[in-house]
Amino acid sequence: MHIIPGNLRKYMRENTEKFGIGSVARGEQYEGNNIDVCVEIDKPFIFTLVYIKEGLEKLLKCPVDVVRLRNNMDELLKMYINRDRIYV
Edge to edge, what strands does the sheet with 64-68 contain? 64-68, 35-40, 17-21, 86-87
Q: Name the domain count of the chain.
A: 1
Is residue 10 in some structural domain?
A: yes
pLDDT at 9 over 70: no
For residue 23, the domain's CATH number is 3.30.460
**Residue pair 75/7 in contact by the 8 Å Cβ criterion:** no
Q: How far apart are CA 7 and CA 13, in angstroms?
A: 10
pTM value?
0.60
Q: How far apart are CA 64 and CA 31, in angstroms?
A: 13
Q: What domain range is 62 assigned to?
A: 6-87
**Residue pair 88/8 in contact by the 8 Å Cβ criterion:** yes
User: In degrees, to the nearest 5, what angle opens at C-alpha 13 toward C-alphas 57 and 49?
Assistant: 45
Instruction: Using DSSP bridges, classify how beta strands 64-68 and 35-40 pair: parallel, antiparallel or unpaired.
Output: parallel
Is residue 1 in some structural domain?
A: no
pLDDT digits (tens, 9 = 90+) for 11-61: 655 654 344 545 555 566 556 667 788 888 877 777 888 888 998 888 878
Is residue 63 in some structural domain?
A: yes
Is residue 27 in some structural domain?
A: yes
